[in-house]
Chains A and B, each alone.
Chain A
Amino acid sequence: MKIKLSVLLNLIAFILSFGGGFIFYRIELDTVQEKTDEYASLINHLVWSYNREAVSSFLQGALANREHLQIVIREPSGDVFAEIIQKNRKHAILPWWNSELTFKDDIEYKGEHLGSFELTIHDHERSAQFVCLIIFIFLHIGIQFIIMYLNSKKQNLELEKQIIQSEKMAAIGTMGAGIAHEINNPLTIVMGHAYLLQETVIKKYQNDPMLINMINKIISSVDRIKKIVEHMKDFSRNSSLDNRVLISVKQVIDDTLIFVMPILKKNQVELTVSVSEDLIKIYVNRIEIESVFQNLLVNASDAMIKKALPRKISITAKNIIEIDSVEITLSDNGEGIHQDNINKIFDPFFTTKDVGKGTGLGLAITKKIIEKHQGTIRVKSSPTEGTTFAITLPRGASE
């Protein structure tokens, strides 16, 4: 892979123009797993066999120390494999570097012209980028850039993930509508005949327990399929912005609670609601927003069933003037969402509920509905403080 750095140098000049001081860093990375002459695999070791966060925070630590730049790479035996010490030098010479790397010009610094510098590295894909990173440290370019680089890389990954996610969603949406119809016809036939069979067994076969048991299994399984298809239809439905009304959040919460209270009572959940008096109104499809609240409340209540009392859910709603929106939070004091799962909870078909209990589409639909209303939804969760969902919805203006 070839990387051209002339473009990056403009960026460096830009950073330097902010007066980034001349800073020296000391970097010591212990225990390289195995000795190798190829820089590429060395860098791979540095970056990929070490935790990237650790490298990044190490660099930040180095910044705080403001020592001279010194890189020491040790073998597991403790022998020094490579050591580079740079003191106020304009460019670095890397001892293990081979001819594939070419500096074309001096790097000039502080007030001096940053020359037309070109660096070519032949490398296995990713490592080249990190080789560049290390070189920039040598060149005393400034830690700001490295951190910025790491951050922007991380952001790119996030963005990429989001794009993949939204493509996945769109695909499910399109599929959902088609599949729903194809499945529902045969499902009607299976379900209908199962019910007819049930009646026949009751009337003509003296309610034979074995037959009834078999038929009930068909009916309950079909119900499960029905629920999944139903959710897929909801997910793919595009009509969420039909039938919008200007309404207060309090009204929507009150309407939701009519349905949800019996479930909360059954699960012995204490509910507190604290809603500001002066809430701005929102312009929404109320059925959909109700279903969002209902889904989050029932989820919270379900998640606390196995937990000892007290089980608490609280709802708050207040205006957020800065973004001209209203923020609704729904918190529970349950055991929280596992850190491994927190990034997946809005993914379609992700569920931690027992088989047959959840379709894994509830939160995906919830997110989709909120985003269609130009709102946002965030989640915060910890084992000690439970889980909080925070939703914002913009001020509504009826057309």
Chain B
Amino acid sequence: MTTLAKVLIVDDEQDIIELVSLFIKVAGYSPEIRSAHSADSALAIFNQDGGFDLVISDIRMPGGHDGLWLIETLRKSSPDLKIISMSGHSDYSELDIKNRGANYFLKKPFNPNDLKNVIENILNQ
């Protein structure tokens, strides 16, 4: 299993951020975890901090840019970065999200195993 060193979780709901962090730990990984509540602050943290190998981001977030913009922007600057996008909204098609640069689209709600499988898959890609 490839290791996971640093993960950025982006969601406007703190509870989701905490839950996803727990899922990552339960899946057997212990990366450094940073979080952001908006796409704009996520990009700022990503650029300032550096060293992320996985970004897990919500799509629809209030204020400023949305998750699709974040995915596109990150993909342009970091071709090797692993990106998982997650959403509970039906406006976005999986194809569109992947075209913008996400490695995987996770539909909310998901369980710990779903996330574990996705992480394993994209790390082995």
Contacts and interface: CB of A to CB of B under 8 A. Distances in A.
B16 A185 contact: yes
A191 B90 contact: no
B93 interface: yes
A185 B112 contact: no
Contacts of B113: 195
A185 B93 contact: no
The bracket for how many chain B residues form the interface is: 20 to 34
A189 B60 contact: no
A242 B99 CA distance: 15
Interface stretch (B48-56, B65-73, B103-111): B103-111
B26 A199 contact: yes
B109 A188 contact: yes
27 contacts: A176-B90, A177-B91, A180-B88, A180-B90, A181-B87, A181-B89, A183-B88, A184-B89, A184-B108, A185-B13, A185-B16, A187-B109, A188-B16, A188-B19, A188-B88, A188-B110, A189-B13, A189-B19, A191-B110, A192-B23, A192-B110, A192-B112, A195-B113, A196-B23, A226-B109, A236-B90, A243-B95
Interface of B: 13, 15-16, 19, 22-23, 26, 60, 87-91, 93, 95, 108-113
Interface of A: 176-177, 180-181, 183-185, 187-193, 195-196, 199, 222, 226, 233-234, 236-237, 239, 242-243
Contacts, number: 64
Contacts of A239: 93
Interface of A is mostly: helix
Given A190-B109, A234-B90, A236-B90, 18 more contacts: A177-B90, A180-B88, A180-B89, A181-B89, A181-B90, A184-B89, A185-B88, A187-B108, A188-B109, A189-B16, A191-B111, A192-B19, A192-B109, A192-B111, A199-B112, A226-B109, A233-B90, A242-B93
Nearest to A243: B95
A221 B88 CA distance: 18
B9 to A, nearest CB: 13
Contacts of A177: 89-91
A197 B60 CA distance: 28
B88 A181 contact: yes
Contacts of A237: 90
A191 B60 contact: no
A177 B89 CA distance: 7
Given A177-B89, A233-B90, A239-B93, A189 B15 contact: yes
Given A193-B19, A196-B22, A188 B112 contact: no
Contacts of B22: 192, 196
A236 B90 CA distance: 8
A226 B111 CA distance: 12
A193 B15 CA distance: 10
A195 B113 CA distance: 9
A184 B88 contact: yes
A191 B20 CA distance: 12
B11 to A, nearest CB: 8
Contact of B112 (A196, A222, A233): A196
